[in-house]
Amino acid sequence: MIRKVNDAITTLSVPFARFGRIKVGGRGTLVRLQDGSVAVFSPVALTPKVKETIAAMGEVKYIAAPDLEHHIFLGPWHKAFPNAKLLGPEGLREKRDKQNNDVVPFSTIFSAKTKLQQKIDPAFDAEFDYEFVDGHVNKELVFNHRPTGTLIEADLIFNLPAHEQYSRAGPDNRAETGLATKIWTAINNTKGDAYWQKMLIWFGTSTGNKPSFNESMARINQWKFDRIVPCHGDVIETGGKKIFQTVMQWHLEKAAAQAKKAT
């Protein structure tokens, strides 16, 4: 499912089942910058239709693997767009080497030690905020497209069920079907106070370095955004900032306490 979200952003939504059973969906995001170039986040399979979509948008100048998991198509994308700058988190190059993936030349590797000083280039930096959430177990890169107020993320927040991503998978393969999917969806949604997703993040995905994770959430909370484009589940078209604050409530509270203690 290829959808033009607005004049700058197009999403590439695909069916994907984790472990072959849990329907979480997958999504790549294309952003057309004001200079006419294109940034690609979490690249999915480079099909003829995707190539056609990109050709109508502009020249691919940036390709971002947003964490240690969303990288398997980097090889084909680099081969198709060899002049694009590749962005990724620390540890990804080593992981790809161990998995015998195609060798790709990263132009920017985000590091926990240098992330606050990290820059891409003037054109990219003029339009995007970005944060390396090194405290996330998957080493997340989160981006905010300032001109459209759109947060682009991979595994930071899930918004299941993955209706759009399974919208063309057929009536017997709907986003909500299957016991494992129903259980995972009950945990990884953004409804109400999102209690179970809060619990999963608090006791699971933020345990790489919780103080650093808290600080990252506080920095992201300072950004201006209304839409959230996740890799897993439906796009949150509006009200995304409030949902982010709800899901990350405990981390934002801890970040405020950490900052107060530091002073």
* CATH number of domain containing 57: 3.60.15.10
pLDDT reading at 32 higher than 90: yes
| Chain segment 114-132, per-residue pLDDT in tens | 999 999 999 999 999 999 9
Q: Of 60, 62, 29, give the one whose Cα is nearest residue 227.
A: 29
For residue 198, the model assigns a pLDDT of 97
- The stretch 43-61 carries a mean pLDDT of 96
Mean of per-residue pLDDT scores for the chain? 95
Q: How confident is the model at residue 16 (pLDDT cuts 50, 70, 90)?
A: confident
DSSP assignment of 178-191: SHHHHHHHHHS--S
For residue 234, the model assigns a pLDDT of 97
Domain residues for 157? 2-262
What is the spatial distance between Cα 175 and Cα 159, in angstroms, rounded to a whole number? 12
| Chain segment 213-245, per-residue pLDDT in tens | 999 999 999 999 999 999 999 999 999 999 999
pLDDT reading at 263 higher than 80: no
pLDDT reading at 102 higher than 90: no
Question: How many residues does the structure list for the chain?
Answer: 263
For residue 258, the model assigns a pLDDT of 86
Q: How far is CA 96 from CA 69, 72, 256, in A?
A: 10, 9, 37
Give how many domains the chain has, as a whole number. 1
- The stretch 154-158 carries a mean pLDDT of 98
pLDDT reading at 96 higher than 80: yes
For residue 169, the model assigns a pLDDT of 86
